[in-house]
Amino acid sequence: MKAVYLDNNATTRVDPAAVAAMLPFFTEQFGNASSMHAFGSEVGGAVLKGRRQLQALLGAQFDHEIVFTGGGTESDNTAILSALETQGARNEIVTSAVEHPAVLALCAWLEKSRGVKVHYIGVDARGRLDVAAYRKALSPRTAIASIMWANNETGTIFPVEMLAELAHEAGALFHTDAVQAVGKVPMNLKETAIDMLSLSGHKLHAPKGIGALYVRRG
């Protein structure tokens, strides 16, 4: 019996076009992308090309708003920890009760080890966020709100563009774990209030161990 793979929300097969695009950098073009000589600058140009491809996919305004990481978890952690470090006396997080463990595990650790207050917003029977509770949880103490764009279990789409605007009204940053949304939901981040967005390559036919964090300029 031939097996049929039906778990693409967990991970995807690497696209043959992606494999072909990568192979030269495992063989002939192995220079350091940061080197000043021509052998390195060729690779640096390829990194810039990749960054601009992601910029176009996300609708980001600037290519330098794309930061490459090792995956979605690293992107989520970087976003939340950076917000806590840069938001002064603000030391509270607002998130949902149905986030990926990449966010929930970090929040639990921050509560236990740093005394950070985390507000976990519930969802209804259809997986939709309690927006009234979200709005109530936001305050001058909120450093960041982190709400996923699309849920990895139910497929529910969250109204992140509106949620980002509400976070800004409270003076907080807004991050979205968009691992399950990038490549499936049209995005134009420059037209939103979203400050940071996480994605993971292996969810959309890129290799494992590759992710990115969108960080709005400023």
Interval 19-27 mean pLDDT = 93
- Residues spanned by the domain of 159: 48-215
**pTM for the structure as a whole:** 0.95
In this predicted structure, what is the pLDDT of residue 39?
85
* pLDDT tens-digit series, residues 53-101: 999 999 999 999 999 999 999 999 999 999 999 999 999 999 999 999 9
Q: Which residues contact 132 (CB under 8 A, 6 or more apart)?
A: none
Residues in CB range of 119: below 8 A, 6 or more apart: 92, 93, 94, 95, 137
Report d(CA 172, CA 113) in Å as an integer.
Answer: 22
Q: Decide which of 34 and 149 is more confident.
A: 149
Q: According to the model, what pLDDT value does residue 40 have?
A: 86
**What digits encode the pLDDT tens for the residues 131-154?**
999 999 999 999 999 999 999 999
Phi, psi angles (nearest 5°) of residue 48: -60, -40
Does residue 27 sit within a domain?
no
Q: Does residue 35 lie in a domain region? A: no
What CATH number did the domain enclosing 183 receive? Answer: 3.40.640.10
Residue 132 lies in a domain: yes
Q: In whole numbers, what is the pLDDT of the chain averaged over residues?
A: 96
Helix pair 101-114, 72-86: axis angle to 10 deg: 40
The answer to whether residue 25 is domain-embedded is: no
pLDDT given at position 11 = 96
Q: How would you list the strands of the sheet with 173-177, edge to edge?
A: 66-69, 211-215, 196-200, 173-177, 142-146, 92-96, 117-121
Q: Report CA-CA distances (Å) from 175 to 34, 41, 160, 189.
A: 29, 33, 9, 12
pLDDT in tens, 99-129: 999 999 999 999 999 999 999 999 999 999 9
Residue 121 inside a domain? The answer is: yes
Is residue 178 predicted with pLDDT exceeding 90?
Answer: yes
Tokens of 187: 């995005």
61 is a domain residue: yes
Give a yes or no: residue 14 inside a domain.
no
pLDDT digits (tens, 9 = 90+) for 179-206: 999 999 999 999 999 999 999 999 999 9
Residue 6 lies in a domain: no
Q: Domain count of the chain?
A: 1
In the predicted model, is pLDDT for residue 38 greater than 90? no
pLDDT of residue 204: 95
d(CA 11, CA 117): 33
- Rg over alpha carbons for the chain, rounded to the nearest Å, is 19
